[in-house]
Amino acid sequence: MEDFKKAAAGAALDLIKRDMVIGFGAGSTIAHLIGFIREVPDLAAGIQAVTSSYSTKILLQRFGFTIREMEGLDRIDLYFDGCDQFDRQLNALKSGGGIHTREKILAAMAGEFILIGDESKSVESINGQYPLVVEVIPDALGYVLGRLSGLFEGVQSTVRMAAKKDGAVITEHGNFLIDCRFTHFPEAARVNDLVIQVPGVLEHSLFYGLARMAIVAGPGGIKVRVPR
């Protein structure tokens, strides 16, 4: 069976040129893209890389890429990442890794934020299959949980618990993550506007109005999508 994630990563390679600063997210599709870049020695040596992900940084270091730190940059050329779902406007939901705050900073820095992956990620409208993840400072945890319940009828909001340690997941910023599950996902613009206004919320995992292109692969081949 064809690896559609790998096929999408191969198509994304054509956008990368020497002397660019390239941002990389996390996941297997990004690992494929880094592998393809590595196979083009002049290209690999000619770009600088920055990433939101610890695991991706380790991979870049192992392959000898020149790595920049986020805090030293105010702009990058391209940022590539995957997602759980994206809609017809390319609003993307990223729920798994819990690093969406760093990912969103790089997406905002980028001249172009490009989604890559298999075409199953493309949906007409974001639905309730994956949670919205909210990063919240510890002092505001109880308050934010209460406000989220008031803002969205029927939302189930729970603190994300660690799988291999006792207690909650703690982000690299020292904060908690709240997983918000909806039977029917609200309008993306409403979610984006309301959640970020709650005091104590650092960021949420809906990437609203940030992506400029999606490269997806499926049985019908490679498709390039733009906001509609």
**Dihedral over Cα of 51, 216, 126, 89: its sign:** positive
Active site residue 2: no
Question: Is 96 within 8 Å of 90 (Cβ atoms)?
Answer: no
Catalytic residue, chosen from 2, 39, 71, 103, is: 103
φ and ψ of 198, to 5 deg: -75, 125
Question: Is 132 within 8 Å of 95 (Cβ atoms)?
Answer: yes
Question: Comparing C-alpha atoms, which of 64, 76, 65, 59 is closest to residue 22?
Answer: 76
φ and ψ of 27, to 5 deg: 110, 175
Question: What are the distances in angstroms from CA 196 to CA 107, 113, 150?
Answer: 17, 21, 14
21 Cβ partners below 8 Å, 6+ apart?
Answer: 47, 48, 49, 50, 68, 73, 75, 76, 77
Question: Is 11 within 8 Å of 5 (Cβ atoms)?
Answer: no
Distance CA 163, CA 171 (A): 14
Looking at residue 59, its amino acid is: L
* Residues acting as catalytic residues: 103
